[in-house]
Amino acid sequence: MSISHALASFLKELKFKNKVESYIMISNFKNKTAVLTGAGSGFGLECARIAAKLGMNVVLVDVQLDALGKATAEILTESAKYGGQVMSFCLDISKADEVESMGQSVLAKLGAPHFLFNNAGVGAGGLIWETTLKDWEWVLGVNVMGVAHGVRVFTPMMLDAAKKDPTYQGHIVNTASMAGLLNAPNMGVYNVSKHAVVALTETLYQDLKLVTDQISASVLCPFFVSTGISQSHRNKPVDASEVTEKPTKSQLIGQAMSDKAVGSGKVSAADVAQKVFDAIADDQFYIYSHPKALASVQTRMEDVMQIRNPTNPFAGKPEIGEALKAALRAE
C-alpha cells in the first residue's frame, strides 16, 4: 500500500470516527424529551428548569406529591414560553410496575426520551450492623433498583429510536455520589447503594458502546450539595412494626453530621444541574460537583493497588474523627 493510499484511508477512518462521536453528543436539546426522576427538588428540579428553557419536553417523576405539584406548575409555566410539553407522574421508582407503566405512557405521548435522568435517591446513616432490614430494602430499592428500573424500561426504547433514526441522539445520566467512590464510616447502606450505581453506570456505558454509537451515559457523583436528600426520611414508607422503633445513637449522629455538611455546602444544585447538561453536550462520563474531593478517591485507589489497609478518612481533619469516635463510645 502506498503512503498516499494509507494516508487517505486513515483520514477516511478519522472522518468516520468523528462523525460517529458527534452523534453521541446531544448538540441541540430543542424539541427533545427529558425524563427526570426526583424532579420535585434538588438536581432533578434544577435539570427540569434547564430542560424547559431549552425547549425540551419535560417528564417529571417524584414520590412526594406536594413537591411534584409545585414543580409541575412551575415547569408548565416555563415550558409554555419555549414550546415544550410537560408530563408529571407521582410514583415510587422502586416499584417496577409503576416505572413500566410510566414508561409506556411517555412512549405513547412523546416517544423515546433523549435524556434520561435516573436521579431520585434517599440517604440513611448509622453503623452498618444497626441498619434494619426495612432500611436496607428502602435504600437499595430507591437508589439501586430505581436506577435499574429506569435503565431497563427506557434503554430499549432509546435503542429502538436510534435504529429507526440515524440522527437520534440519547444520553442517560445516573446519580450516584462521591460515596460511590469512597467509603466513609457511619453511612454504610448509602455507600453500598452508590457504589452499585457507579458500577451499574460504568457497565451501562460499556454495554452501549458495544451496540450503538448514538446513545451514551454518564454518572453524577456529587459531594455535599443542598438538595433535600439529608431529609429523605420524610418520604420513607412507614411500616407498622417499626413505628415505635427509635433511631440508634449512631443514626442520630449520622443525621446530624449529614445535615451540617450538606447545609454548609457552597455548590448549589443549580450549579450541578448545569454541569450535567455540559457533560451531556461533551459526552463526559464522570460528573463531579467537587473535583477537589478526588484526592480522597486517589488515596483509596492507592490503598487498593498497594494492598494496604484503608486510610483513615479523617486524616486531614483528625478532630472530626476523634469527635465521632468519642460520641459513639460515650455511654
Q: What is the pLDDT of residues 15-44, one digit of tens each?
A: 444 443 444 578 899 999 999 999 999 999
Sorting pLDDT into bands at 50, 70 and 90, what band is 238? Answer: low
Q: What is the pLDDT of residue 224?
A: 81
Sorting pLDDT into bands at 50, 70 and 90, what band is 227? Answer: low
* Mean per-residue pLDDT, 55-75: 98
* Mean per-residue pLDDT, 167-173: 97
**Residues 13 and 36: beta-carbon distance below 8 Å:** no
What is the DSSP annotation of 291-311? GGGHHHHHHHHHHHHTT-PPP
- Angle at 235 (CA atoms; ends 265, 173), nearest 5 degrees: 60
C-alpha to C-alpha distance for 259 and 272, rounded to whole angstroms: 19
* Mean per-residue pLDDT, 124-148: 96
Cα end-to-end distance, the chain, whole Å = 81
* Mean per-residue pLDDT, 257-280: 87
Give the number of other CB atoms < 10 A from CB of residue 236.
15
C-alpha to C-alpha distance for 79 and 53, rounded to whole angstroms: 7
Give the number of other CB atoms < 10 A from CB of residue 139.
24
C-alpha to C-alpha distance for 44 and 42, rounded to whole angstroms: 6
Q: What is the pLDDT of residue 6?
A: 52
C-alpha to C-alpha distance for 210 and 181, rounded to whole angstroms: 25
Question: Scanning the structure block, which residue is given the C-alpha cell 469512597?
Answer: 182
* Mean per-residue pLDDT, 204-230: 89
pLDDT-wise least confident of 37-46, 115-124, 248-257, 279-288 = 248-257
* Mean per-residue pLDDT, 236-263: 75
Closest CA to 208 of 159, 160, 145, 138: 159
Q: Please give the share of the chain, as a percent, with pLDDT higher than 90.
A: 79
Q: What is the pLDDT of residue 234?
A: 53
Query: Model's pTM, two decimal places?
Result: 0.88
Residues pairing with 109 in the sheet: none
Q: What is the pLDDT of residue 226?
A: 66
pLDDT-wise least confident of 20-24, 101-105, 291-295, 321-325 = 20-24
Q: What is the pLDDT of residue 27?
A: 81
Q: One-letter amino acid identity for 34?
A: A
Domain 19-329: CATH superfamily, name plus number:
NAD(P)-binding Rossmann-like Domain (3.40.50.720)
pLDDT at residue 257 above 60? Answer: yes
pLDDT-wise least confident of 1-10, 19-28, 261-270, 309-318 = 1-10
In this structure, what C-alpha cell is assigned to residue 273? 444541574
**pLDDT mean across residues, the chain:** 90
Q: What is the pLDDT of residue 25?
A: 73
Residues pairing with 62 in the sheet: 90
Between 213 and 260, the higher pLDDT residue:
213
**Residues 8 and 199: beta-carbon distance below 8 Å:** no
* Mean per-residue pLDDT, 71-94: 98
Q: What is the pLDDT of residue 23?
A: 42
* Mean per-residue pLDDT, 46-64: 98
pLDDT-wise least confident of 203-212, 217-226, 269-278 = 217-226
C-alpha to C-alpha distance for 7 and 70, rounded to whole angstroms: 59
- Phi first, then psi: what are they for 89, rounded to 5°? -135, 125
Give domain limits for the chain.
Answer: 19-329
Closest CA to 133 of 245, 256, 38: 245
pLDDT-wise least confident of 56-60, 75-79, 244-248, 277-281 = 244-248
The torsion angle over the Cα atoms of residues 158, 160, 166 and 171, rounded to 10 degrees, is: 10
